[in-house]
Amino acid sequence: MKAKFNKMLYGGDYNPEQWPKDVWQQDMELFDKAGINSATINVFSWARIQPAEEVYDFRELDEIVDTLAKAGKQIVLATSTAALPAWMVKRYPEVARVDYEGRRHKFGQRHNACPNSPVYRHFVKELTARLAERYGSHEHVVCWHINNEYGGECYCENCEKAFRVWLRKKYGTIEALNKAWNLTFWGHNIYDWDEVVLPNALSEGIEGEEEPGNEKTAFAGISIDYRRFNSDSILDNFRLERDTIQQYDRDTLVTTNLMGTYKGLDYFKWAKEMDIVSWDNYPSYDTPWSTVAMWHDLMRGLKNAPFMLMEQTPSQQNWQPYNSLKKPGQMRAQSWQTVAHGADTIQFFQLRRSVGGCEKFHGAVIGHAGSDQTRVFREVAQLGEELNRIGDSIIGSKTESKVGIMFDWDNYWALEYTSGPNKDLKYVDQITRYYEYFYSKNMSVDLIPVDADFSRYDLVAAPVLYMVKEGMAKALERYVAEGGTLVTGFMSGIVNESDNVHLGGYPGPLRALAGIWAEEIDALAPEQSNEILFTDGTKACCGLLCDILHLEGAEEIARYGSNFYAGTPAVTKNAFGKGYTYYVGSVLSEDGLAKVLDLACDGAGVASVIGEETELEVTRRISDAGAVYFVMNFKDQELPLPTVFAGKKDLLSGQTMEEGEMLGKYDVRIAVL
């Protein structure tokens, strides 16, 4: 087990190569004033380090490292492989990606390299080796940051050839491939591996006015496999750099920055290859705080361990449609929310605002004025003082959850590739709806993979578990039979890992577990809705999709109130061994879903982390000193402090909290109970 950080890193992306050297010392002084103790460097410096194929020049990077070291700053050292130097694309144009439309890209942008290019991989390995050999033993280098925000796709000939090799390893025979992809449909049978082509706009992709881009496909089997292959290909690039670093430095943590629920990469698979998960948090002006919390819980759940916040903006972003300033106190509260959900670092993009380029209006600790007399700088300095005072005592502390919500990239891809039944059905939207319930109740949640140890949880929610792969149904049956509570529902148990339907009736392998049969699935347009009637007489709305259910041992919790299937079950509960499965047959209104989840939580014995109701967000991490509680107000009105904290010391202010104390918007309290 590699040692984690000896202090909570507070810093962010720093690009001194963009500035004259007389600015560097000013920056060190400003960093000290802000309490910044670290910097992430060399993220996009490949062209400066290697100005030509045979030429390496580390003099500038040496000076940057020396400047930070002399100032006592810890260094997150990036490998700068996320953007190609111009000479490489000029001399070896095959390193550039081919896009979904089949166009070979020229030099420009970033994430612009084909992951299966032997030329790119050669130069990546050579550069990474030189960096690791030169800086791997430096006492101020505490983390390696490989590449940056991996993502994108390539559809070039190299990738097509590599895809065929990947498929041969996966399926073994052409016959198995034809069966997996159901290629008898439309007479698409293939008889040679070289007949496999990548699924882009020139082949299996389906375009239309309502579906721009590459979200639909004639053959989901090939498109899902391409997603898996592309994620694996880019992951191979990460492994290449990591393994090269570890030839020279086996002690320093290695990471790369992820992006929350980013669709393109299977982060659960990636996390197994990373020493510590890091990610970049950029909510928009109207992103619900519950969604931000869910992103953090997913990043923590990838390794079931604390994570790094690699990037957030001190105030303003530049690349969203509406780039509002963060209000006074918002950045501080957002940062403490990040720590509350498992972060052991708080880092910004960026430390000094760029002069030019598309990110010149992206927020920074030091703005274009170069002054410490700004609102943003003062708030950064306040947070820096707080983190320096109490942050280190939180490092490594754990989060204990009794609720797990399944998140699975195979399901993400498959559900949104499928043609029908409703184009408005989106995977993350449905996960978010469930998460919001537990967030509102201050019930701690882990976002977990489909192969998790379910026995750790009293309740597991698996909304839209569309793809049920081999072994999953048996694992869920064991969990429920041994006393667990499972909540699932519509569009679950439909297909196998190749997107072929499980025959015998929906929800396929989950049918016995749920005790129901879904005969048909009705799709409702946005202007349409239905009503459900609970057995206790209460009502709620539903829409989007409605499963038409038959009971096969389950009991009815609610029934439909209209349409030709009025009076048939809409929500059910089934006893299975010592536990229960709840099946939610439609997209319920917020109050309707809450009623179902109230029943499930009461039966499973799941409760709030503090045992009393409040609209404040209350989160808990378990440290050697005890349970550390974070109390935060993200509402527009003042809210009273929960009574359990009365008489306890607020670690941020040092003051004793009082009964009836009111917290304004973005106020934060931290206490040990």
> What is d(CA 633, CA 637) in angstroms, rounded to the nearest whole number?
9
This model's pTM is above 0.75: yes
Known catalytic residue at 63: no
156 annotated as a binding-site residue: yes
Largest CA distance in the chain: 78
Give me the catalytic one of 149, 153, 204, 531: 149
For CA atoms 295, 299, 304, 308, the dihedral sign is: negative
154 annotated as a binding-site residue: yes
pLDDT recorded at residue 214? 52
Give me the catalytic one of 311, 436, 477, 617: 311
Q: What is the DSSP string of 348-366?
A: ES-SB--SSSTTTTS--SB
> What is d(CA 138, CA 142) in angstroms, rounded to the nearest whole number?
9
Interior/surface letters 33-57, b for 16+ CB within 10 angstroms, e for the rest: ebbbbbbbbbbbbbebbbeeeeeee
Dump pLDDT digits (tens) for 507-548: 999 999 999 999 999 999 999 999 999 999 999 999 999 999
> What is d(CA 354, CA 603) in angstroms, rounded to the nearest whole number?
55
pLDDT recorded at residue 208? 56
Dump pLDDT digits (tens) for 439-476: 999 999 999 999 999 999 999 999 999 999 999 999 99
Q: Amino acid identity of 522?
A: D
Q: What are phi and psi of 144, to 5 degrees?
A: -95, 130
- Does 210 score more than 70 pLDDT? no
46 annotated as a binding-site residue: no
Angle among Cα 127, 263, 295 to the nearest 5 degrees reads 95
Domains of the chain in start order, with CATH, are: 9-81+123-153+235-393 (3.20.20.80), 157-226 (no CATH), 403-604 (3.40.50.880), 617-672 (2.60.40.1180)
Known catalytic residue at 311: yes
633 annotated as a binding-site residue: no
Token representation of residue 171: 């399926």
Q: What is the total residue count of the chain?
A: 673
Q: How confident is the model at residue 1 (pLDDT cuts 50, 70, 90)?
A: low
The closest of 334, 335, 333, 315 to 325, measured between CA atoms, is 315
Dump pLDDT digits (tens) for 548-603: 999 999 999 999 999 999 999 999 999 999 999 999 999 999 999 999 999 999 99
Q: Amino acid identity of 393?
A: S
181 annotated as a binding-site residue: no
- Does 661 score more than 70 pLDDT? yes
